[in-house]
């Protein structure tokens, strides 16, 4: 593959040598924008056109994304182990190819079987190309010093809906939903694949750890009993999975929830746009000041903000605007914590494999929670569902504090 035209912007990485952070994070940021925007956010724009053209029910159209998230979750442990052994370059490059194949297949879908098969391929691409794979790659390359790179990458990811929702709408208007899928297939091959191959090193060696402070005798990374490590992982997995379940429910059912609180549809749509800038703003603040405190505090603040935002949603407009700003800030911090807390608690050795294991409950929660919430809404109302979500958010605050109490005497 010819990559010479990019060499002046993204200098090629040498084998077994971590590349410069600026070019690598910029390249991965572009890849993440297209990966998230063309998959996770696609049906927000195209669900209606796909249903109208294919004759599939809207519920089956949306089920494609749930299937993709399930496939990504089930494949994530294997993805993490592969990154641990071989590095992120082949995995992320493979994700670009799978995205292209999946969207090419999706553009041809004229029945349910082909449609779901396309989403199955896209799901495998999501499992090997979204945040968890990218975080694992950064942790493997930069070890304990990957926190800033992970924070910057989430800033790019936060722009996915901002960039791709208008792009998808434009492509749909100009060439239909099938043409939009073909364009995304082409972008993954022409843009994402060269970037993944160009900036990531070929070698599989892990750089030697460079501790920033002497490791005490009781360090969790060296001498913590296996049972304590297992407990920490279970608590961490519970926090991040519950957070992802909350975010999925809110993202899918937000408009219904706001309307149930007495807010008109157009006002609800306008309020929903607050979340994206709030996420980016919170991530920017964390990137500027995060090095001064343990990333567990980022996670705890995230859970508190999310719970507070959901509690405020039980009020009415204009409190809803403040609620979504607070909630968006918490959601933005959660993405950073998801990558940095495991690195700090368990260290860089085995980080990629651990991120793969951590991704499994997260993606399963993302896949199942909106459907479960939809069933509950059909039996009750959106306010009742929001109350249940509020209880889940408070539970997550407690779990985050338990994780901090378990580790505070060690770190």
Q: How confident is the model at residue 29 (pLDDT cuts 50, 70, 90)?
A: very high
The domains of the chain are located at: 7-199, 226-407
pLDDT surpassing 90 at residue 306: yes
CA geometry: angle 157, 161, 162, nearest 5 deg: 95
Mean pLDDT highest for which of 38-47, 101-110, 271-280? 101-110
Task: Give the model's pLDDT for residue 5.
Answer: 43
Q: What is the mean pLDDT of residues 306-334?
A: 87
Instruction: Return the CATH number of 7-199, one of 1.10.10.60, 3.90.1150.10, 3.30.70.1710, 1.20.1250.20.
Output: 1.20.1250.20
Q: How confident is the model at residue 206 (pLDDT cuts 50, 70, 90)?
A: low
Task: Give the model's pLDDT for residue 54.
Answer: 93
Q: Record the tokens describing residue 338, joined without a space.
A: 């998801």
Find all residues with CB under 8 Å of 59, minimum gap 6, and list them.
none
* Distant-in-sequence contacts of 228-233, Cβ < 8 A, 24+ apart: 228/406, 229/346, 231/406, 232/345, 232/346, 232/403, 232/406, 232/407, 233/346, 233/354, 233/357, 233/358
Q: How much of the chain, in percent, has pLDDT values that exceed 90?
A: 36
Centroid of chain to Cα 221: 26
- Same fold yes or no, 7-199 and 226-407: yes
Q: How confident is the model at residue 36 (pLDDT cuts 50, 70, 90)?
A: very high
Query: How far apart are alpha carbons 396 and 235 in whole angstroms?
Result: 10
Mean pLDDT score of the chain, rounded to an integer?
83
CA nearest to 374, candidates 241, 257, 244: 257
- Count the Cβ atoms, other than its own, within 10 Å of residue 326: 23
DSSP 8-state assignment for residue 200: S
Write out pLDDT tens, residues 78-137.
998 999 888 889 999 999 999 999 999 999 999 999 999 999 999 999 999 998 899 889
Q: Write down the CATH superfamily of domain 226-407.
A: MFS general substrate transporter like domains (1.20.1250.20)
- Please tell me whether the overall predicted TM-score, pTM, comes out greater than 0.75 for this model: yes
Q: What is the mean pLDDT of residues 354-373?
A: 84
């Amino acid at each position: 593959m010819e990559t010479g035209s990019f060499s002046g912007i993204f200098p090629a990485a040498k084998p077994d040598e971590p590349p410069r952070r600026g070019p690598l994070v910029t390249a991965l940021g572009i890849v993440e924008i297209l990966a998230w925007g063309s998959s996770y956010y696609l049906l927000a724009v195209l669900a209606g056109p796909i249903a109208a053209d294919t004759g599939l029910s809207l519920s089956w159209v949306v089920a494609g994304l749930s299937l993709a998230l399930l496939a990504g979750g089930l494949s994530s442990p294997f993805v993490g182990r592969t990154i641990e052994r071989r590095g992120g370059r082949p995995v992320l490059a493979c994700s670009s190819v799978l995205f292209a194949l999946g969207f090419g297949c999706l553009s041809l879908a004229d029945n349910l079987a082909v449609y779901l098969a396309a989403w199955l391929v896209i799901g495998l691409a999501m499992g090997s190309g979204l945040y968890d794979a990218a975080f694992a790659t950064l942790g493997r390359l930069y070890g304990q010093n990957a926190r800033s790179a992970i924070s910057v990458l989430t800033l790019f990811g936060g722009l996915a809906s901002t960039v791709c929702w208008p792009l998808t709408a434009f492509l749909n208007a100009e060439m239909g939903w099938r043409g939009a899928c073909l364009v995304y297939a082409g972008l993954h091959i022409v843009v994402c694949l060269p970037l993944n191959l160009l900036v990531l090193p070929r070698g599989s060696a892990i750089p030697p750890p460079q501790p920033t402070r002497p490791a005490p005798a009781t360090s969790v990374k060296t001498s913590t009993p296996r049972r304590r490590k297992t407990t920490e992982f279970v608590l961490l997995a519970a926090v991040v999975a519950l957070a992802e379940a909350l975010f999925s429910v809110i993202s899918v059912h937000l408009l219904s929830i706001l309307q149930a609180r007495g807010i008109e549809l157009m006002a609800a749509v306008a309020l929903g746009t607050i979340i994206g800038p709030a996420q980016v703003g919170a991530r920017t603040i964390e990137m500027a000041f995060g090095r001064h405190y343990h990333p567990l505090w980022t996670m705890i603040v995230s859970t508190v903000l999310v719970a507070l935002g959901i509690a405020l949603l039980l009020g009415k407009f204009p409190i809803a605007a403040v609620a979504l700003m607070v909630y968006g800030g918490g959601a933005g911090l959660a993405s950073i914590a998801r990558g940095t807390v495991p690195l700090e608690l368990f260290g860089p050795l085995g980080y990629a494999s651990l991120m793969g294991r951590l991704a499994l409950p997260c993606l399963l929660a993302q896949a199942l929670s909106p459907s479960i919430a939809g069933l509950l809404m059909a039996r009750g109302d959106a306010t009742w569902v929001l109350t249940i979500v509020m209880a889940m958010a408070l539970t997550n605050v407690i779990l985050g504090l338990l994780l901090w109490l378990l580790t505070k005497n060690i770190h």
